[in-house]
Structure 1
Amino acid sequence: MSRARPTDHGDELLARLDSLTAQARVQAELQRTRVELAIALQRGMLPRDLPDAPGFHLAVAYAPACYGLNVGGDWYDAFVLSDGRIGLSVGDVQGHNIEAAAFMGQIRVGLRALASVTGEPGDLLARTNDLILSLGGDLFATCTFIRLDPTTGVLESARAGHLPLIWATADGRSGIARDEGGPPLGVQAGTRYPVTRYRLTTGGVFILLTDGVVEGPTLSLEDGLDQVVRLAGVAAVAGMDAGELAAAVIKGAERVGHEDDAAVLVVGHDGLPVQP
């Protein structure tokens, strides 16, 4: 009876290992390409420029997740409405893949398109919710939309399952807005979103963010929000620039060990221009 030589078994094992290694390389390269495409989609869909308004400063900071081979669908946006007021939004799509990134782009474009019909935040979110449901997908998103009137400093805000905004005033007060919100976009038909009004005073700031900034394996959501509240209070007293504050908030996201995208949008108020 013939017996296979040990070297035959060794050669067969090496051949199998080579085959498995080649397959793993192909899969890793395919996934890396998907991640790069998703990141390109994200960056291509986010606004390159922010509106200018006398007495106000807008600033953003963004860090894509790229945890492992995942990528999320967080976004921010700021644009001028037809009546001269400014629309601001931040949001977070459920999921961590290229579909989430593409869905993010659909929502952002949908918000902008519908804002030409109505800039009222509650109505705008309701219409966007109905639009998403009409598309028939299985993804949903949280979102906050704010309409800022640069002539008065009044902000009107509506939330769809998203984190509340954070505020601070020049005299050192700061906190988390306790407004009423509605369910995420794309979950329930016929939803109405209540609107809350705020006034941004001279030296004050408002911060909109996504949960990747304040929640992660090393920090709870409550502690993360408190961390940003304290930072906002210090920044307002010190007169920190909106861009510096946004950078400081996103820097803090590194300490939470976040596995999600992190987006920050800061609105700062230097004071309304003097009317002649």
Structure 2
Amino acid sequence: MTRRRPSRSATADDLLTTLGRLTDRVRQGAERQRARVELAEALQRSMLPTGLPDLPGLQVAAEYAPARNGLDIGGDWYDGFVLPDGSLGFSIGDVQGHDVEAAAFMGQVRMGLRAVATATTDPGEVLGRANELLLSMDHGLFATCSFLRFDPVTGELESARAGHVPAIWATAGGQGGVVEDEAGVPLGILPGEAYPVARRRLSSGGAFVLLTDGVVEGPSYPIEAGLDAVARLVRSAVTTGVEASELASQVMGVAAQTDHTDDAAVLVLVHDPEETRPPRP
């Protein structure tokens, strides 16, 4: 018969040693995860434009928040550039998926829209041609998108949507709300799709806000509630003459209420003709 060795009770030193080893493992794992998250965020941000148009008559500002699911790489983007006729083009969108392929596809969509807009400035045609371009690439992915053309001299604004979240508008007097214009299907799904164009005038001091669903929708937060919250915020903010950068920050703050883990983007236009701007201190 084999005799069992008597078990030894764990001493305080043994417990402290074991706890120390576990703590080191947790710390090392946390540091690796933090490094991976920082890498993902850097990749996300590298896909966005380094600047936005800066012309008299218009304030433009944008905010972007990366995904909060560790290595999830979101496909949200915004963009702004000068069109061949001197007006301004803006886009915002969201690509299907949350991986490196989706991020690369997002870059192609953003640059594809820029390329198409050099040939036509009509937002509906821009989206239509971009749709055919993406279908020809045969990625098997799709993207929602809004594209608009703005004339800072006249305040005329033309916009079209490809299955994307509605925009928000407001006048300097605090009127406005959700822009429920007709939309076509997302880019990269159906050939020959038409994208209706909506036309409006953005009065002096008025704002037009483009955003992605990461700002206004969450697991238990319906998109309608998020859009209403942003609309109320924008209507109130414009009556105080808020700067575009501050308004973009305030709108992005709505995302904290939705508990959404996806990435999020906001693009704000405030029509601010040079002659109406108060002198800067």
The equivalent of 1:118 in structure 2 is 120
Equivalent AA in structure 2 for residue 43 of structure 1: R
- Residue 254, structure 1, aligned to residue 256, structure 2: yes
Shift of 1:2: 9.3
Equivalent AA in structure 1 for residue 46 of structure 2: G
The equivalent of 1:162 in structure 2 is 164
- Residues 149-187 of structure 1 show CA distances to partners (whole Å, capped at 9, x for unaligned) of 112111110100001110011112121112111000001
- Residues 225-247 of structure 1 show CA distances to partners (whole Å, capped at 9, x for unaligned) of 00000000101111111110000
Partner of residue 203 from structure 1, selected from 183, 202, 205: 205
The equivalent of 2:109 in structure 1 is 107
The equivalent of 1:221 in structure 2 is 223
Shift of 1:116: 1.2
- Residue 184, structure 1, aligned to residue 183, structure 2: no
Partner of residue 58 from structure 1, selected from 60, 66, 71: 60
- Residue 83, structure 1, aligned to residue 85, structure 2: yes
Cα separation, 1, equivalents of 2:192 and 2:2: 78
Q: TM-score, normalised by structure 1?
A: 0.86
Q: TM-score, normalised by structure 2?
A: 0.84
Equivalent AA in structure 2 for residue 39 of structure 1: E
Equivalent AA in structure 1 for residue 124 of structure 2: G
Cα separation, 2, equivalents of 1:4 and 1:62: 64
Is the 2:44–2:73 contact (alpha carbons within 8 Å) kept by the matching residues of 1?
no
5+ residue gaps, structure 1: 8-21
Is the 2:79–2:91 contact (alpha carbons within 8 Å) kept by the matching residues of 1?
yes
Equivalent AA in structure 1 for residue 235 of structure 2: G
Cα separation, 2, equivalents of 1:176 and 1:4: 77
The equivalent of 1:212 in structure 2 is 214
Cα 1:237–1:69, aligned 2, differ >3 Å: closer, same or farther?
Answer: same
Say what the alpha-carbon RMSD is for the aligned residues. Answer: 2.5
**% of aligned pairs identical?**
57
Is the 2:33–2:70 contact (alpha carbons within 8 Å) kept by the matching residues of 1?
no
Is the 1:60–1:266 contact (alpha carbons within 8 Å) kept by the matching residues of 2?
yes
Say which SS state the counterpart of residue 129 (structure 1) adopts: helix
The equivalent of 2:149 in structure 1 is 147
Partner of residue 92 from structure 1, selected from 80, 91, 94: 94
The equivalent of 1:18 in structure 2 is none
The equivalent of 1:270 in structure 2 is 272
The equivalent of 2:73 in structure 1 is 71
Cα 1:171–1:41, aligned 2, differ >3 Å: closer, same or farther?
Answer: same
Say which SS state the counterpart of residue 114 (structure 2) adopts: helix
Is the 1:38–1:101 contact (alpha carbons within 8 Å) kept by the matching residues of 2?
no
Cα separation, 2, equivalents of 1:140 and 1:4: 67
Shift of 1:82: 1.0
Cα separation, 2, equivalents of 1:250 and 1:267: 14
5+ residue gaps, structure 2: 8-24, 277-281
Cα 1:132–1:4, aligned 2, differ >3 Å: closer, same or farther?
Answer: farther
Shift of 1:273: 4.3
